[in-house]
Amino acid sequence: MRLTLIGASVAGLFFFLAFLVARPVPSTQKAPGPEQELVGILQYLESDYPAAVASKDVGELSEQRSLSRDALSLAKRSMEATPFAARVESIDARVQQGSDPAGVSADCASLADDIIVGAGISRKPSMPPDLEQGAELFAQACAGCHGASGHGDGPAAAALNPKPASFHSTDVMANLTPFKAFNVIRFGIKGTSMPAFASLDERQRWALAFYLFSLRQPACDHAPPRMSLDDLANRTDDELTRAAGGHEVPCLRRRSTPLDAPALLAAARSEVEVAARLASRDRAGAERAILDAYLNDVEPIEPWLRARDPEALTQLEATFTTTRAALQQGDPNAQGDAALLTALLERASGARAVAAKGSAFWFALLVILREGFEAAVIVAALLAVLKKRKQVSRARFVHAGWTSALVVGAIVFVLGRKVLAGAMDEKLEGCLAFVAVAMLLHAALWLNARSNTRKTMGELRERTRGALDGGAVGLFAIAFLAVFRESFETAVFLEALSIDAPSAVVWGASAGALLLVALVVAVDRLGLRLPMQTLFKVSTLVLVATAVVLLGQGIHSFEEVGLVPSYPLGSLRVELLGIYPDRIGILAQAALSAALILWKFLTRSHEPRLPGLHPAG
């Protein structure tokens, strides 16, 4: 009954968090506005209108006139583009007459640039595009028309008019940039068979746009020169040739560029400045710009910032949260918060390297000690049964089982770090933290309750006696499964702890392993007697404290990406305990702590005493 009550309390807490996560929040991806679509049309007219006039093809000219009319309609409909409506009208008049191809092309290019600046449209991806993903998307969505290698000769090409573009054609690629290709992928081309790929997200569109430019390039045999994502996204192949040399273009187009932290911080400042301009008339747009600045420009370089100046990163995260909250609530001080955010971004670009957080070190050490000690107790119980039955020769199967479990657990951790390194974001960090919280609470409150510990040991002894008749496989399986649970739990806990400071976790885990070995040797060789009841109490306290810390960190991660609304609360911040200045996180940690205290109060009088641990004899 009592365990049921505490279980219901903890479950209620997680249902409350799930409700918060499920609430509608601002999208992290901007919906394509009319000004963005207008830029895409102007870029298309810039490239294709001169060729249509030169060809005197009635169909192509009709297509250009239709697009020009659409551009004029968008200009009159968009608040950001309205000041440019007169220039769009001038372009449209000439397009309708089929005249001045060179002037129209130049005016379209100039106007597109001015709208991009005025509307705060991003011209580049937030992080280097994944060309492998681009290749997969091309094979799935584009090869049917454009052909497997991009020559415009796909199975469906014969029935299409106009024909699909060939990305090997000098004429097609002469004026094309990845940013222009990105807009075509996003909006499609009216009057042709090129559809809009609305189902793709920003990163997928950029990956596909960049991949198109690799199709006609030869193999790359060296590292590309350093070049910003802005230049790569907005320069044609000919412009890259003039800037870096023709021999460098294949590598620039076929290899991803490493993240440029200063450039991303500059981009974040630009987004924040856009938000400040929008704050008085478009709070939702301003909030979206702040969120985009964090997700697209700051989050990808968090490890770089954390290694150089964790205090600067802490202040940035807190100010991003308070600025978004001020915008949500219509606070007139929101512009002041945005100004502070700009100053912090400028500071971050000159951050200095400092040591990683100590909290990750100590928690990793304690988790290794706690989980490793429990695994040692399990192995000791198995070996004690064999010794009592005078079948010590079979102990090698037990040793093979627990060592194999440790190896598999280490592999799980390494593979987990490899997978998460390429995909880790605040959303995934929060989910991992909540998984670790659930496992920690299960280990601390249910699986390792004192009565369950005695019951578990009894079951292990019975299974070991039964396995003696089954031979090596049975003993190996019992040892492996018993220790693998501890090993797997440890891998998950360390994954969650290593999000903020992976090197500190490695050192903490190593120190914990050394202390654990020393403890086992002291018990086995020196006859040291351990107070089991005290050790289990202390280790359980370590687990629940870690759970409270990770709960706060998980909620904080969800707040940063907008999955949970933010309600700033003063300046209270104790990162060692996962405490951040926000009401939801603090209330959730307080609720969990209260539930744990209640559980302890209800179960205090029912804890059986355990004897000390000493060498089996």
Could you tell me if 551 and 579 are in contact, meaning their C-beta atoms sit under 8 angstroms apart?
no
pLDDT for position 471: 60
pLDDT for position 346: 72
Give the burial class of 414: count Cβ atoms within 10 A of its Cβ; 0-12 exposed, 13-18 middle, 19 or more buried.
Answer: exposed
Domain chopping of the chain, boundaries: 34-119, 131-254, 261-348, 358-606
Q: Report the share of the chain in percent with pLDDT over 90.
A: 16
Could you tell me if 287 and 257 are in contact, meaning their C-beta atoms sit under 8 angstroms apart?
no
356-379 tens-digit pLDDT: 456 677 777 777 777 777 677 667
Could you tell me if 378 and 460 are in contact, meaning their C-beta atoms sit under 8 angstroms apart?
yes
What is d(CA 463, CA 481) in angstroms, rounded to the nearest whole number? 12
pLDDT for position 551: 79
202-237 tens-digit pLDDT: 889 999 999 999 999 998 888 888 787 788 889 999
| Residue 430 pLDDT class (50, 70, 90 cuts) | low
What is d(CA 68, CA 96) in angstroms, rounded to the nearest whole number? 8
Position 269 pLDDT exceeds 90: no
pLDDT for position 615: 44
Domain 131-254 -> CATH class:
mainly alpha
pLDDT for position 460: 55
Mean pLDDT, range 391-406, rounded to an integer: 76
Position 265 pLDDT exceeds 70: yes
pLDDT for position 129: 87
Backbone angles phi, psi at 437, to 5 degrees: -60, -50
Identify the top-confidence range among 76-90, 219-233, 303-317: 219-233
pLDDT for position 90: 93
Which residue's structure tokens are 């799980």? Answer: 412
**CA nearest 555: which of 539, 569, 535, 541?**
569
Task: Enumerate the H helices of 120-198 as residue ranges.
Answer: 131-137, 143-146, 170-174, 178-187
pLDDT for position 80: 57
Could you tell me if 594 and 56 are in contact, meaning their C-beta atoms sit under 8 angstroms apart?
no
Could you tell me if 504 and 356 are in contact, meaning their C-beta atoms sit under 8 angstroms apart?
yes
Mean pLDDT, range 564-572, rounded to an integer: 65
Position 454 pLDDT exceeds 90: no
| Residue 17 pLDDT class (50, 70, 90 cuts) | very low
Could you tell me if 563 and 552 are in contact, meaning their C-beta atoms sit under 8 angstroms apart?
no
Could you tell me if 505 and 511 are in contact, meaning their C-beta atoms sit under 8 angstroms apart?
no
Task: Enumerate the H helices of 424-498 as residue ranges.
Answer: 426-441, 450-468, 472-497
pLDDT for position 10: 38
| Token pair for 459 | 């079951």
Position 166 pLDDT exceeds 60: yes
Mean pLDDT, range 284-304, rounded to an integer: 79
pLDDT for position 95: 94
| Residue 459 pLDDT class (50, 70, 90 cuts) | low
Could you tell me if 64 and 51 are in contact, meaning their C-beta atoms sit under 8 angstroms apart?
no
Position 94 pLDDT exceeds 90: yes
- Which of 355-359, 491-495, 564-568 comes out lowest in average pLDDT? 355-359
Backbone angles phi, psi at 579, to 5 degrees: -95, 125
Secondary structure of residue 167 in the 3-state scheme: coil
Q: Report the share of the chain in percent with pLDDT over 70.
A: 66
Secondary structure of residue 469 in the 3-state scheme: coil
Partners of 613 in the β-ladder: 530
- The pTM of the full predicted model, rounded to 2 decimals, is 0.47
Mean pLDDT, all residues of the chain? 75
pLDDT for position 179: 92
- The type of residue at 319 is T
Partners of 582 in the β-ladder: 568
Backbone angles phi, psi at 196, to 5 degrees: -85, 135
pLDDT for position 28: 38
35-62 tens-digit pLDDT: 888 888 998 899 889 989 998 888 889 9
Q: Cα torsion at 296, 302, 303, 306 (round to 10°)? A: 170
Is pLDDT larger for residue 381 or for residue 67?
A: 67
- Which of 340-349, 446-455, 460-469, 494-503 comes out lowest in average pLDDT? 446-455
121-165 tens-digit pLDDT: 778 886 788 899 999 999 999 999 999 999 999 999 888 888 898
